[in-house]
Structure 1
Amino acid sequence: MRVARLRARLRGWGGVGAMAVVCALALAFVLLLPGTQARTPGGPALGHGHTTEATQARAGTCTDATAQNRSPSPASATGPAVQAIKARGYLSVGVDQNSYRWGYRNPNNASGALEGFDIDLVHRIAKDLLGDADKVQFRAIPTNERIPAVRSGRVDMVVRTMTITCDRLEQVAFSAPYFLTGQQVLAPRTSSVTGYDASLAGKKVCSATGSTAYDHLSADKKDGRLPASTDISTTVPNQLDCLVRLQLGEVDAVVTDGALAASQAAQDPTVELKGPAFTKEYYGVAMKLGADDLVRQVNRILEDYRKDGGWKASYDKWLLPTLGKESASATPPTPVYR
């Protein structure tokens, strides 16, 4: 019965959705991916190139509301981390391969290349560091493997809708923010769930292991901001697995970044965003602690990416259809460096 219902809903997705589900169910470990695909062309210049310099924050003063302001200022000087990448000849990057419009394999693309907003950013970093946008080795990494992959040196960086938080800053280094989003609830259109509120009482909610969504669910349930009867025990390696559980009827709602949820709602017309975003979060590029030269180089690249229209062109191509031009996410965040 559940399988029949899932098949019916997948017909609404089309090829992309079916591909994404297969990838999500199969991806329980790190996969080595090919890295040959086209870059996104530039677009009109933006007027958001202004940056401000903040005083160096002392240890112990970090709050998640300002965690995105703790990255070092941009610089072009190379150091050990950048030199190692140049000597190797390619950039190793952890990404997603099943997040529609962020990092996914388009079945209509004969080359099977990865596409999406995060993938465009990776190509831009490779072009600026190595002179060739295609000198990238992509590794598909589950949500809960993002930090271990960086810390172990399996990848040089992770560009995978990763929110900057104080806890994560103790484990990895982050670039300045490149995208603004917030947590939201995704549920069937016919559901009685109205958002991140009392309507979640008695409901089963899914989130990805190691995600900020689960962190909020866990903390809010302990503090009483979430109904005590809300079941948050369902966690999965990849966020898209939550959507599969939702389609199978195994959970009642999903909590994830609004930007990702909007893309999933675009894939499956039987689900929708419920209520407004209840957090304000920023995505950053994660790198190894101590790789300050690489972090500064990435921050320099992000500065240029915003100024020359590359960021705007990528947003318009991948995210404008789902988030719109009036969204707070439609403008790149203005960085504040430590």
Structure 2
Amino acid sequence: MSRVGATARSAVAALAVALAVATAVLVPVLVDGGGGGRGDRDRLGHSVPAAPGQEAGAGARGGSGSGAGEQEADDDCQKEESLRPAGPKAPDGPAVQRIKKRGKLVAGVDQNSYRWAYRDTDNLPPPGGELGLKGFDIDLVRAIAKDILGSPDAVIYRTIPTERRMPALQDRDVDVVVRTMTITCDRIKQVAFSTTYFKAGQQVLAPKGSKVTGFDDSLRGRKVCTAKSSTGKDELDKNRHGVREVVTAASQLDCLVKLQLGEVDAVITDSALAAGQAAQDPTVHLVGGTFTREPYGVAMNLADTDLVRRVNKVLEDYRKGGWQLSYRKWLADYLPADNPRPPPAMYKKE
């Protein structure tokens, strides 16, 4: 690499590190508080019923949701089937009542996924002001809040790392997680999901000029980064393709920084997220095709079936126009499609 190229890469990497540090400081992040079981009250002070299979004590969370068999038998588990939407005259259930009583929807989101959920650095809020988050996932959070509470601004955002998505729901730190979260056969046993609102796939991100060509033997002998408790990690557990070392990080942005600093040779992450990263950093690009199917869903506590139905009603309306508007605003320049359409809803037989 030339001295000019090295200097440019160092500058890009330094900027990425600075942005990651700045956003981590400015937004409260949920961390595992430890301790015993959840008890009969959530962390917002409201009494809650225990979800099936979530008794307090050892094993209440059922692990992090990561596992080599997580995406096996995808067709058999019918993972994308969700509860049918609530009818227009259906009374509010306990979860929706709890949100209305609080007056805020508590949403677990990302803050570093460009075009999905990220901080608007051009319009930072004053100290103590709103969080300034925006993106495709944030638009959906706002649509849910507007439907339940009458205002898209009635949201408390809590940023969570990848591995905290399910524990945050099981511990009732949040009402929903809208964070490019893939619906998998393993995860539907631990948290509830809405119908699918977007589909992507795992793909490889590598420096331009690299000999890495995709999720194949070109990875042999190399260091590869992926997020903890992610489907990318699961795929590497099943087939390493000769990877010398798998490096895990709290988020896909942390992996991007490691790639920019030359600490790893490639990153495995969702294609939709990687496209935004490639748009931000001209020194990296996507290689090979997608090698998994990644249906994104809104995740909720297993016990909150009424909230699942309400969110599915929101998504039914959202698919009629709001989804396309949000896609054109945030994703069209990075995930071009001739006629982008939301995935169709699939419902369980009841």
TM-score (norm 2): 0.79
Counterpart amino acid of residue 64 in structure 1: D
Conserved? CA contact 2:13–2:261, under 8 Å: no
Look up the SS of the partner of 1:323 in the other structure.
coil
Counterpart amino acid of residue 329 in structure 2: K
Distance 1:244 1:326 in 2: 32
1:61-86 deviations in Å (ceiling 9; x for gaps): x9324644321111143211111111
Counterpart amino acid of residue 195 in structure 2: A
Change (3 A) 1:82 1:19: farther
- The answer as to 2:122 corresponding to 1:108 is yes
Distance 2:104 2:325 in 1: 25
Q: Which residue of 2 aligns with 1:159?
A: 178
What pairs with 1:183-194 in structure 2 (closer than 5 Å)? 183-194=202-213
Q: Which residue of 1 aligns with 2:159?
A: 140
Look up the SS of the partner of 2:334 in the other structure.
helix
Look up the SS of the partner of 1:185 in the other structure.
strand
Q: Which residue of 1 aligns with 2:84?
A: 73
Distance 1:28 1:6 in 2: 34
Gaps of 5+ in 1: 32-61
- The answer as to 2:277 corresponding to 1:272 is no
CA RMSD after TM alignment: 2.4
Conserved? CA contact 2:162–2:229, under 8 Å: yes
Conserved? CA contact 1:185–1:274, under 8 Å: yes
Aligned-residue offset at 1:220: 1.9
Q: Which residue of 209, 213, 221 maps to 2:228?
A: 209
- The answer as to 2:25 corresponding to 1:9 is no
Q: Which residue of 149, 164, 168 maps to 1:130?
A: 149
Aligned length: 295
Higher helix share: 1
1:263-306 deviations in Å (ceiling 9; x for gaps): 00000000000011111110000000021100000000000000
Change (3 A) 1:301 1:218: same
- The answer as to 2:324 corresponding to 1:312 is yes
What pairs with 1:14-93 in structure 2 (closer than 5 Å)? 17=16, 20-23=19-22, 29-30=29-30, 63-65=73-75, 67-76=78-87, 77=90, 78-93=92-107
Look up the SS of the partner of 1:178 in the other structure.
strand
Q: Which residue of 1 aligns with 2:343?
A: 333
Gaps of 5+ in 2: 32-71, 126-130
* Structure of higher RCO (CA pairs closer than 8 Å, 6+ residues apart): 1
Conserved? CA contact 1:125–1:298, under 8 Å: yes
Counterpart amino acid of residue 296 in structure 1: R
Change (3 A) 1:172 1:6: farther
Counterpart amino acid of residue 249 in structure 1: G
TM-score (norm 1): 0.82
Distance 2:28 2:258 in 1: 16
Q: Which residue of 2 aligns with 1:242?
A: 255
